[in-house]
Structure 1
Amino acid sequence: MEWLSENEVYVSDKATWGRAAHPLVVAEETLIEDEPAGRGLLARRDIQAGEALFQVPYHLCFTKDVAVRRFAALGVPAIANEEEYMALAALLLYEKGLVESRRAGSANLGSFWEPYLDMLPSSPRESEPTNEFRKQSSETLNALWLWDEDDLEWLLGSPTRTAARTLRAKVEKEYHEACDRLYRHFPHVFDREGAFSLKNFLWAFGVLFSRAVSLPAEDGLLALVPYADLVNHSPFCTSFIDSRPAEFPYSFRAASSPKREEWWQRVLGRRGGTRSAADGTGSSLYRDAAQREVVAYADRFYDKFEQVYVTYGQKSNAELLLLYGFVSDRNPYNSVEVCVSLNSSGLANDSIAERKRMYLRACGREPDNPECFPLYADRYPLELMQFLRFAALTEEDVAGYSDLDQVDVTRPLSRTNEVAARDALIGACKSALEAYPTSADEDDAALKDKSMAKLLTRNQRLSVRLRRSEKRILERTIAGVQREIQSLKL
């Protein structure tokens, strides 16, 4: 908090002339539905709906612009060609490396962002800290895609397990490509045996996936925002993090070009060329950015000491666990993927099966590959039913059509086709349920048995909660579609 205050983040617990006391206080440990959720933000006092929760000056954020300036001063202008996640990961790893090397006895001045870096969660399985950097953080990254294989086995049958493996493989591929494309050309900056190891690269992306925000007012610009990233998610909250013109003047904003250059030198620790470090800070574009701040507004009234939330978006439990490491049993946006194909429809060998296959190929689809759709507790997408209507087409349905493209599957074609499409959906749901080694009732019993639940690790409990929620959606879908079939047969 001291670092924030020193760098113009208003966190004072005392009111000043024309400005109320800051409404929030940091809680070292919070809960999300009885599971530890790390740090969070609580209401220091009653907070009114529409009140600003925090204001963080834009120039304190990790953005690609900062990364470009940082590495340009180090003789690596190629960072400007990297996409946002790669640029921010490089900046995060380089600054983290400076902190660790300074604490290991190096003569460098460390990182301007050191207090913020100290607050970031550590890598998974680092229960025994190996250096001072990791001792500073009481949290651990727990995103599903970073779990080991033993924990992933608890999600056997869930499509989320495949998603986790796919995401991890993609990030590892990005690392090896970055090594070939960039890191190996500048070994004095990108130490692949130290700060830029694969393990640290995974940590950086874990931090970005779980803490970086996309700012709508900045055309979706990606940013790591100190302090703002402590606020936790609620699926029932509508408040979100964005930027706006600064309400109160910042010294950095009002400063002359030499003063802004001095600030950049402080950020860069006076390494690299003195002039190139602040290159462009006098431009109108940069002055505009320097006059902005990151903010979130309360979407409702908060009582004193109540935890304050924002929304991370309308995400399913699978997405929340995959990227953030938690689930919500009351999540109204929860869903589970179900996959269907011509083969799974049960009608793959009908008399027009080959025509269907040729049509899908002409549309750029591989007929043997499954098409996946989200199922929700109370609905399924229209696109799913349209695909199943197509898969269930018979010669009678297409009589009089010279091409399947003329058949309108956006509306019911016949009672027989509607029943067949729904039968195929029920079959897909039952197949999905059979892939799990346990039933939803068994999962429910395991969680309700307090003595049994205590024997499970946090990751195992989260896995049971996720797979139970997925099975409940599949079961509700089956029951709902069966009622639809009964209505069609009346």
Structure 2
Amino acid sequence: MKNRSGRRARRKRRKKRGETGHVTLSHEASFMDLRRWLKQKGFSSKGLIPASFTDTGRGLMATQPIEANDLVISLPEKCLLTTSKVLESYLGEYIKRWKPPVSPLIALCSFLIAERYRGDTAEWSPYIKVLPTSYTCPVYFSKEITDLLPMDVRKKAETQKEQFEELYSTSLPFFLSLQPIFTHPVEVVFTQDAVRWAWCSVNTRTVYMEHARSDFLSREKNVFALAPYLDLLNHCPEVQVQAGFNELSRCYEIRSVPGCKKFQQAFICYGPHDNQRLLLEYGFVASGNPHSVVYVDLDTLKLCLNDADKQLQQKLLFLDDNDFLRNLTFGIDGPSWRLMTALRLLSMKPEQYSCWKSVLLGAPVSHDREDWCILKAQILCQYLSDDNSKALLRIAQLKHGADGAQLKQLCLVESLRREERVILDRSKQVLQNILPQPSS
């Protein structure tokens, strides 16, 4: 008997099986132009087509099964946008005569902005047109939204903003030298917003590819290569891939270790990054990321310490000298070994100082000091949990009346905070289980 269940029933079945819906984008003019343009350069994409997925947004869907260790994609060198191609372009003569030499990053950013300005006449126009018009990286965040981030990533985001602004201001003289290329004033073309767009395009979408050093570029490491179509592949932390430039085929190749089923989204892995790093570098958060942790910065650590401890500064200096004031974290399994080791050293009494080195190697101090460490870890976890709750409440308030860009940013920070809340709740349970019970 034929199954006559409707669309709603099919959706329910897919949801129950954990499948996500998708809408193909192959028919859209921009993607048709991109695929036609890449075909002229020797790339065929029959096995993967662009689609919009309910959980990840734009991505690539497999139109046929990808077996284990099969090639997911093989992009010819002609399709890769590198500094070599920029130096060969109309920008090349300006870059080559500029002193001191510009960085590989600025060379690529300048080319992206120039090609976007040239519109349909630009060689790389089919690629430029499918790039996002803006990004959700923290460099786009207002101070109000940046302040909602956890302390550790907030400081990194503020530093990133400062570095970008310095990069922009120091690159302005070079941008002004490009005036002969444009009919409009350079100040109108190379605005801070335009450079931020190009900077995020390179940082979030480039693949790692080492290049020979050029005398016309600064000595900064040149490992950038923008890979049209390939950069539509989304990240999944649990997927294993082999990626790199094949010197024999002269293609950038990605192989899937587990393979991929027909009509499912093909994923790659950007690396074993936690959600804070994914947000900072790529502008997204991975749900259920097994690499995610909650960081304890120095200021938060000091909240559970006794200022009356005359040896506190000496202990902190010792931890710093031994690189034990970084990467102190809580995970789904509770406080990390590094965090507990730091707390053990901070708990020590003067008569126990002779054991400092053995404690750094993982040795316990004493029963009463171990209990002290567990209690302090619980205090830290509760403080971070309270901070998390306050941030989520503030995000809910700001979402009312927020415009499109702000709403995307707030939802992203909210996702990060919700993922961290799960970790903190699990850590609290772990600590509660090992907390010393009061005697009857």
| One-letter amino acid of the structure 2 residue matched with residue 165 of structure 1 | E
> Matched residue pairs, number?
385
Find 2:339's aligned residue among 384, 390, 393. Answer: 384
- Is 2:309 the partner of 1:350? yes
> Structure 1's 487 and 309: CA in aligned 2 closer, same or farther, altered over 3 A?
farther
- Deviation of 1:228 after TM superposition, in Å, equals 0.6
Equivalence for 1:178? 171
- Deviation of 1:406 after TM superposition, in Å, equals 5.1
> Structure 1's 78 and 385: CA in aligned 2 closer, same or farther, altered over 3 A?
farther
CA deviation map 1:23-58 (0-9, x unaligned): 11222x2232xxx512x1111122212221221111
Give the 5 Å matches for 1:393-404.
393-398=348-353, 401=354
**Counterpart-to-counterpart distance in 1, 2:82 and 2:282:** 20
Find 1:416's aligned residue among 368, 385, 397. Answer: 368
| One-letter amino acid of the structure 2 residue matched with residue 344 of structure 1 | L
CA deviation map 1:284-311 (0-9, x unaligned): xxxxxxxx11111122232321111111
- Deviation of 1:439 after TM superposition, in Å, equals 8.6
Find 2:277's aligned residue among 319, 325, 341. Answer: 319
Equivalence for 1:18? none
SS in 1 for 2:38: helix
- Deviation of 1:373 after TM superposition, in Å, equals 2.5
Q: Which runs of 4+ in 1 moved over 6 A?
A: 216-220
Find 1:209's aligned residue among 203, 211, 227. Answer: 203
**Range 222-231 or range 68-77, more displaced:** 68-77
Equivalence for 1:24? 48
| One-letter amino acid of the structure 1 residue matched with residue 230 of structure 2 | A
> Structure 1's 352 and 161: CA in aligned 2 closer, same or farther, altered over 3 A?
closer
**Range 40-49 or range 347-356, more displaced:** 347-356
> Structure 1's 390 and 245: CA in aligned 2 closer, same or farther, altered over 3 A?
same
CA deviation map 1:53-74 (0-9, x unaligned): 2211113212233333434334
| One-letter amino acid of the structure 1 residue matched with residue 331 of structure 2 | Y
- Deviation of 1:381 after TM superposition, in Å, equals 3.6
> Structure 1's 407 and 236: CA in aligned 2 closer, same or farther, altered over 3 A?
closer
Find 1:63's aligned residue among 69, 75, 82. Answer: 82
Identity rate, percent: 23
- Deviation of 1:78 after TM superposition, in Å, equals 4.1
**Which consecutive unaligned segments of at least 5 residues does structure 1 have?**
12-21, 104-109, 124-140, 248-291, 447-455
> Structure 1's 189 and 325: CA in aligned 2 closer, same or farther, altered over 3 A?
same
> Structure 1's 233 and 317: CA in aligned 2 closer, same or farther, altered over 3 A?
same
**Which consecutive unaligned segments of at least 5 residues does structure 2 have?**
1-34, 213-220, 397-405
- Deviation of 1:111 after TM superposition, in Å, equals 2.1
- Deviation of 1:214 after TM superposition, in Å, equals 1.3
Equivalence for 1:435? 387
Equivalence for 2:139? 145
Equivalence for 2:14? none
- Deviation of 1:81 after TM superposition, in Å, equals 3.8
Find 1:42's aligned residue among 57, 61, 75. Answer: 61
| One-letter amino acid of the structure 1 residue matched with residue 277 of structure 2 | E
Give the 5 Å matches for 1:286-325.
292-325=250-283
TM-score normalised over the length of structure 1: 0.68
- Is 2:106 the partner of 1:95? no
CA deviation map 1:331-359 (0-9, x unaligned): 21122211246733423322433543564
Give the 5 Å matches for 1:245-264.
245-247=247-249
- Deviation of 1:235 after TM superposition, in Å, equals 1.6
SS in 2 for 1:42: strand
**Counterpart-to-counterpart distance in 2, 1:80 and 1:299:** 44
| One-letter amino acid of the structure 1 residue matched with residue 338 of structure 2 | E
RMSD between superposed Cα atoms in Å? 3.7
- Deviation of 1:93 after TM superposition, in Å, equals 1.9
| One-letter amino acid of the structure 2 residue matched with residue 313 of structure 1 | G
**Counterpart-to-counterpart distance in 2, 1:381 and 1:477:** 10
- Deviation of 1:118 after TM superposition, in Å, equals 1.0
Question: Is 2:41–2:78's contact at 8 Å kept on the other side of the alignment?
Answer: no
Give the 5 Å matches for 1:262-281.
none
> Structure 1's 224 and 380: CA in aligned 2 closer, same or farther, altered over 3 A?
farther
| One-letter amino acid of the structure 2 residue matched with residue 227 of structure 1 | Y
- Deviation of 1:467 after TM superposition, in Å, equals 0.8
| One-letter amino acid of the structure 2 residue matched with residue 465 of structure 1 | S
**Counterpart-to-counterpart distance in 2, 1:357 and 1:307:** 48
- Deviation of 1:380 after TM superposition, in Å, equals 4.1
SS in 1 for 2:241: coil
